[in-house]
C-alpha cells in the first residue's frame, strides 16, 4: 500500500488544497493530511479548529486521514510508516523553498521521497493568507474554499 502524507498549516484548508488531495489520491492508496503545529506562524484558527475543519472537508474521502504534528516531518513519516510526502506547487517561486525542504528530508531520512504536484490553473492563485484577508473584508471567497470553511471564516470575522 502506498501511503503518503500531505503536510501543511491549513489555516484554513482551501479548494487548492482539496485539488492537491484529490490528485494525490490518483497516485497513493492512503493519504494522511498532516496539520503542522508551527509556533513561528501566527494562525487565525487554533490547531483544534484546523483539525476539525479539515476532517469535515475531507470526510468524503474514505482513504484520507487527518492528524496534527509538531516537529520534523520525517519523524512523523517514520511514526506512521508513510515514505512519501505530497507537496503542492502554485508557482515557480514555491519550488526553491520546497526543493530545499525535499533535500533536507532526504538527508535526514533517505527512505522518504517527495511528489510535487502543480496546482491546477484555476487554483494557482489561492492561498490561505489571501482567503483570510478577503474574508476579513467580507469579500466573496465562495469559489476558493469549501462551504464549511466559508461559514467558519464568516463567523470568525463577524466577532471582530
Rounded Cα–Cα distance for residues 92 and 101 (Å): 15
Catalytic residue among 55, 90, 106, 156: 90
Rounded Cα–Cα distance for residues 52 and 67 (Å): 10
Catalytic residue among 50, 87, 119, 128: 128
Rounded Cα–Cα distance for residues 78 and 92 (Å): 29
**Strand (E) positions, 9-109?**
30-36, 64-69, 84-89
Catalytic residue among 41, 42, 107, 159: 41
Asked if 128 is an active-site residue, the reply is: yes
Asked if 41 is an active-site residue, the reply is: yes
In this structure, the number of other CB atoms found within 10 A of the CB of residue 26 comes to 7
Cell 526543493, residue?
99
Report the catalytic residues. Answer: 17, 41, 90, 128
Amino acid at each position: 500500500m502506498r501511503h503518503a502524507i500531505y503536510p501543511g498549516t491549513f489555516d484554513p484548508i482551501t479548494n487548492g488544497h482539496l485539488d492537491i488531495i484529490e490528485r494525490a489520491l490518483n497516485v497513493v492508496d492512503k493519504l494522511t493530511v498532516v496539520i503542522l503545529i508551527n509556533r513561528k506562524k501566527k494562525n487565525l484558527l487554533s490547531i483544534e479548529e484546523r483539525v476539525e475543519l479539515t476532517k469535515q472537508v475531507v470526510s468524503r474521502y474514505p482513504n484520507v486521514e487527518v492528524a496534527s504534528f509538531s516537529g520534523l516531518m520525517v519523524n512523523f513519516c517514520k511514526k506512521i510508516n508513510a515514505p512519501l510526502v505530497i507537496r503542492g506547487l502554485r508557482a515557480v517561486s514555491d519550488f526553491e523553498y520546497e526543493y530545499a525542504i525535499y533535500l533536507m528530508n532526504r538527508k535526514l531520512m533517505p527512505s522518504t521521497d517527495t511528489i510535487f504536484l502543480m496546482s491546477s490553473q484555476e487554483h494557482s492563485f489561492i492561498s490561505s493568507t489571501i482567503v483570510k484577508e478577503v474574508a476579513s473584508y467580507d469579500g466573496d471567497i465562495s469559489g476558493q474554499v469549501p462551504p464549511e470553511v466559508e461559514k467558519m471564516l464568516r463567523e470568525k470575522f463577524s466577532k471582530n
